[in-house]
Amino acid sequence: MSSVTINDKFQTREELVQFIDDTANTAVEKAVRTVAPPVRRVPWATSGPVCQDSAGYSVLKAAAFALGYVGADQAKEEIHTHHQLRDLYAAYGFSPHHGAQSFLVPLASAHLPVFEPHGQRLQTELRQKMTAQASKYDPDEAGWLLRRTGRVMTKALGTTVDTAGGTLVPLPMLGELIDLQRNLECFATAGAQEIALPPNGRIQFPRFTGGSTAYWVGEGAAITESQPATGNLDLQAKKLGVLVKMNNELLRFASPSAEGLVRFDMARAAALKADLAMLEGSGGTQIKGLTTYSGIAMHTAATTAANGDTFQPQDVAAMEAKLPDAVDAPTAWVMRKSLFAALMNRRADAVSAADGRGGFLFRDNRSVGTDRPRELYGTPVIRSSQVSAARTKGSGTTLTYLLLGYFPDWIVARLGVMEFLASGSGDTALANDQTFLRGIQHIDAGPRNPASFVMCDQLVQS
């Protein structure tokens, strides 16, 4: 093949520049005609906003694009991320449940498969994109948006009963969806171990179900043979659907503050549902809950009654004593806020029986203005309304339970992406000018050693 130099083809610099301009314009026009909307992947052309490389990733833009509110030129970052995630997981055999209708959104960059350099680069890139707008979050703007949309999104962290109010704290800043969700999950707060769920949706952990046995033997006598019993913790992806009803004002007034509201709402809905399943789930299509495992140790409160038992100070040490020797110290208690409030306020008798005027039983004497540490005998207390208040004994139907355990032995496996669907149709959404966002997470959880947890059931909440 003969080579042709630029000087042979073009006589002047102007001819070369004109040729480059004509070729570029022809290529762009051809790409626009041949690539069907709404996705236009034209690597050599730029349309829509420019000079916004630091804008980061927006869940709102992903929803708006899925509904057709914005074009592909306005959601280039979100579309590009979708294709990156789809191609990455397709290489491992994963395909979305709804095929081309699903829009993949980053859930946890740390849980992406990083078995090759491409996955490692994508992990770092997505983490930066999801947190790029964190410094632009404006609480005042968020408050204005909440008033415009008629919604209240604050969380109560007080130790009062569930039906009363609590301490209102600001909404969290922008960040990865999984970070927001974990901050709201009681199991994650208690110290549960997080792992990445493989793209095939299944992972097994070996565990001992029975140990070897040692024997004293005499001189020349044979040692009795023993074999440790083993088993597996089989974690298989369960679908956790998150449905968020969002007023369209948030799409119209797209901003970092509006983005933060949507991310927090999705994280809160998922955290509550995941916590409930991890506590009391029946298995099958949902997570099998900790309280349903047969290997968990059971403790009966010191004061028993026909219609419900009463937790006493001596039960704290008695429950800890039921943990195996392998557990040096428990990491957390998990109970309802109402039960913890009752324990903190319980007092000994002073002058007459049942007068409740003596010293506090579960904490030292402090003034009302002094902050009460959320712990029992040095072990942190995680309070959650997902702990049941409908346990029964006799005629008691509003009883509850509490858990003590070494929560790093509870394994939570999640997929690094969330399947995202958006809809603005339907009678309710159309009439109320709303958008329904549905995200599907893939998650499972279970204990490596059920004996690392102790449960005290059928407790009165007063």
What are the helix and strand counts (H, E) for the chain? 13, 17
- Higher local confidence (pLDDT), 459 or 99: 459
How far apart CA 68 and CA 51 sit, in angstroms, is 23
Q: What's the pLDDT score for residue 303?
A: 95
Q: pLDDT tens digits for 422-442?
A: 665 655 666 677 777 788 889
Ordered domains of the chain (ranges, CATH): 295-409+451-459 (3.30.2320.10)
Number of CB atoms found within 10 A of residue 101's CB = 10
Contact status, residue 156 vs residue 166, Cβ threshold 8 Å: yes
Collect all residues with Cβ–Cβ distance below 8 Å to 258 and sequence separation of at least 6. 60, 142, 145, 250
Q: What's the pLDDT score for residue 173?
A: 47
For residue 380, is the peptide bond before it cis, meaning its omega torsion is within 30 degrees of 0?
no
Q: pLDDT tens digits for 231-266?
A: 788 899 999 988 877 777 666 656 666 677 777 778
Does 152 score more than 50 pLDDT?
no
Q: What's the pLDDT score for residue 218?
A: 80
Phi-psi region of 220 (alpha: psi -120 to 50; beta: other; left: phi over 0): left
Please give the share of the chain, as a percent, with pLDDT higher than 70.
68
Indicate the range of 111-120, 219-228, 264-273, 336-345 predicted with least confidence.
219-228
- Structural tokens at position 229: 């019993």
Among all chains, which residue has been given the structure tokens 């959601």? 75
How far apart CA 395 and CA 399 sit, in angstroms, is 10
Which CA distances in Å does 107 have to 122, 187, 251, 419? Answer: 13, 18, 20, 9
Contact status, residue 134 vs residue 174, Cβ threshold 8 Å: yes
How far apart CA 187 and CA 274 sit, in angstroms, is 9
Does 155 score more than 50 pLDDT?
no
Q: At what angle do helices 256-280 and 177-184 cross, to 10 degrees?
A: 50
How far apart CA 455 and CA 334 sit, in angstroms, is 10
How far apart CA 292 and CA 248 sit, in angstroms, is 41
Number of CB atoms found within 10 A of residue 245's CB = 13
Q: What's the pLDDT score for residue 280?
A: 95
Q: Work out the pLDDT band at 178, boundaries 50, 70, 90.
A: confident
Q: pLDDT tens digits for 400-426?
A: 999 999 999 999 999 888 887 766 565
Q: pLDDT tens digits for 191-206?
A: 999 988 888 888 888 7
Q: Work out the pLDDT band at 1, boundaries 50, 70, 90.
A: very low
Number of CB atoms found within 10 A of residue 117's CB = 8
Task: Specify the pTM.
Answer: 0.72
Q: How is 17-62 classified by DSSP, letter by letter?
A: HHHHHHHHHHHHHHHHHHSPTT----TT---S--S-TTS---HHHH
Q: What is the mean pLDDT of residues 53-72?
A: 75
Among all chains, which residue has been given the structure tokens 């009062």? 160
How far apart CA 263 and CA 134 sit, in angstroms, is 12
Contact status, residue 175 vs residue 164, Cβ threshold 8 Å: no
How far apart CA 341 and CA 400 sit, in angstroms, is 13
How far apart CA 433 and CA 139 sit, in angstroms, is 25
Most confident of 31-40, 43-52, 307-316, 352-361: 307-316
Please give the share of the chain, as a percent, with pLDDT higher than 90.
27
Collect all residues with Cβ–Cβ distance below 8 Å to 313 and sequence separation of at least 6. 361, 362
Q: What is the mean pLDDT of residues 390-404?
A: 96
Give the mean pLDDT of the chain. 77
Q: Work out the pLDDT band at 172, boundaries 50, 70, 90.
A: very low
Does 456 score more than 50 pLDDT?
yes
Does 60 score more than 50 pLDDT?
yes
SS3 for 196-264, per residue?
ECCCCCEEEEEEEEECCCCCCCCCCCCCCCCCCEEEEEEEECEEEEEEEEEECHHHHCCCHHHHHHHHH
How far apart CA 249 and CA 372 sit, in angstroms, is 41
